[in-house]
Amino acid sequence: MSSAIFFKAIEQEIARTQYGESPVELYEPIAYLMSLGGKRMRPAICLMAASIFSDDWQKATKPALGVEVFHNFTLMHDDIMDAAPLRRGQPTVHEKWNSSVAILSGDVMLVCAYELMTAVKDNIFKKVIRRFNRTAAEVCEGQQLDMNFASRNDVSEEEYINMIRLKTSVLLGFALELGGMIAETSEANTQLLYEIGTNIGIGFQLKDDILDVYGDPEKFGKQVGGDIIENKKTFLLIEALAQAKGKPEEKELAQWLSAQSFDKAEKVKAVTNIYDTLGIKQMAESKMNEFFSKGLNDLERLEAPAERKKPLLDIIYMLIEREN
């Protein structure tokens, strides 16, 4: 089966879903944010996981959309906290409306995600909600850690990996696990699906960090070097701070990090040079490959015919090779 069918099922579900009607200030921002697109990777992999163990994977469509709605809820609230003006090239909800609307509309969006989860069968519903609760709390924990890291210069690699595991990866893990639960596969397979998702998710985020510095400007879609300009604590910066200790790059990096006014292009070039000198790109790629490999190995171990796993395998390779 081709991957496209799963993405199509999600887009169709999004097109027919009504989140609520009145007052419009509450529900329009939900439809707006959901209409801005995105890769729809989380719900698609949920359907793929379900399809590994069940021909009736369509029954996972609403809960899968719940994962996507949850993801977009976190974007709506994160954008307020980050004072981000744009999301997918369009005004963020708090910019287009205001912060109160973005808070409240986000709240009801989280409720909508829970409502979409009610589409699973009664016998697995409590298990699904417990796992969803845990995942949702962890995503919030990850966002809080990310904010905490902004004012720290001593974040360790381990802390960083834990933060992105919480903020990004557990939701990919849950998306796959949810597909497995809905297909009512074994506990062992469901657990393995979760592991695959979290490891792929960490690899995915490390790829993000690498692309932000080393992406092809023609293909990347965003400004290359954005993380460097903002001193964002990515894997690359954390590794560079560690590797630079006692070397001439230590002072140079510190100066760029504390610079109040600078030419953006010059800073991006200089910090990228420091990364190159220290071999940071290779370290990040090696760490990224470690997590992708774990994910691929676990997918190999999953007890199912290879052709059933093919769509998920294709997506993972797409994530590994992506350039934007």
Q: How far apart are CA 53 and CA 312, in angstroms?
A: 12
Nearer to its own copies, 5 or 108 (CB): 108
Nearer to its own copies, 164 or 196 (CB): 164
Q: How far apart are CA 132 and CA 70, in angstroms?
A: 10
> Hey, which residues does 225 pair with through a beta bridge?
none
CB 129 to its own copies: min, Å:
6
CB 42 to its own copies: min, Å:
18
Q: How far apart are CA 121 and CA 99, in angstroms?
A: 37
CB 173 to its own copies: min, Å:
17
Contacts of 277 (CB under 8 A, 6+ apart): 249
Q: How far apart are CA 191 and CA 177, in angstroms?
A: 7
Q: Which helix (H) or strand (E) holds 90?
A: strand 90-91
Q: Cα–Cα–Cα angle for 151, 152, 155, nearest 5°?
A: 140
CB 74 to its own copies: min, Å:
8
Cβ neighbourhood burial of 156 (10 Å; 0-12, 13-18, 19+)? exposed
CB 174 to its own copies: min, Å:
13
Q: How far apart are CA 195 and CA 197, in angstroms?
A: 5
Nearer to its own copies, 90 or 144 (CB): 144
DSSP state, residue 194: H
CB 31 to its own copies: min, Å:
15
Nearer to its own copies, 112 or 238 (CB): 112
Nearer to its own copies, 130 or 301 (CB): 130
CB 112 to its own copies: min, Å:
8
Nearer to its own copies, 145 or 181 (CB): 145
CB 1 to its own copies: min, Å:
31
Nearest to 121 by CA among 59, 173, 39: 59
Q: To which residue do tokens 């993801």 refer?
A: 71
Nearest to 237 by CA among 291, 283, 200, 201: 283
Residues forming contacts to its own copies in the complex (CB under 8 A) are 20, 22-23, 25-26, 77, 80-81, 99-101, 103-104, 106-108, 110-112, 114-115, 118, 122, 125-126, 129-130, 133, 136-137, 140-141, 143-145, 147-148
Nearer to its own copies, 129 or 313 (CB): 129
Nearer to its own copies, 118 or 273 (CB): 118
Nearer to its own copies, 100 or 297 (CB): 100
Q: Which amino acid would we find at residue 228? A: I
Q: Cα–Cα–Cα angle for 22, 27, 31, nearest 5°?
A: 140
Q: How far apart are CA 175 and CA 195, in angstroms?
A: 11
- Residue 87 has phi, psi (to 5 degrees) of -135, 120
CB 102 to its own copies: min, Å:
9
CB 11 within 8 A of CB 40: yes
